[in-house]
Amino acid sequence: MLVEPKQMVAITKLQKELTQTVRSISASGKAVYILKNNNLEAVLLTYQEYEHLKEIEELYERIVIKKTIETRMENYNPQNNVSWKKR
């Protein structure tokens, strides 16, 4: 992933300029990548983008569950069922 240097901010600078940074993110819609000891540590993004990513995560989870069910159903044999009464 390529990150533009102008989208990176050191955590110490962010602490001093948090309000301005949040306003900038809200206005531009572009995420800010937070550096700690010159390493990417976190990402600050708009709430709308966060919600969008959460929706994608939920859809992906549903796809994984669907594929798991389909795989299990391929191998399903009703003859192997055990009655609850027999337990």
Tens of pLDDT along 14-72? 999 999 999 999 999 999 999 999 999 999 999 999 999 999 999 999 999 999 999 98
Taking 80 as the threshold, does the pLDDT of residue 79 lie above it? yes
Per-residue tokens: 24: 């900038």
* pLDDT at residue 51 in the model: 97
29, 49 Cβ separation under 8 angstroms: yes
**pTM, full prediction:** 0.70
Residues ≥6 apart with Cβ < 8 Å to 28: none
Per-residue tokens: 18: 């948090």
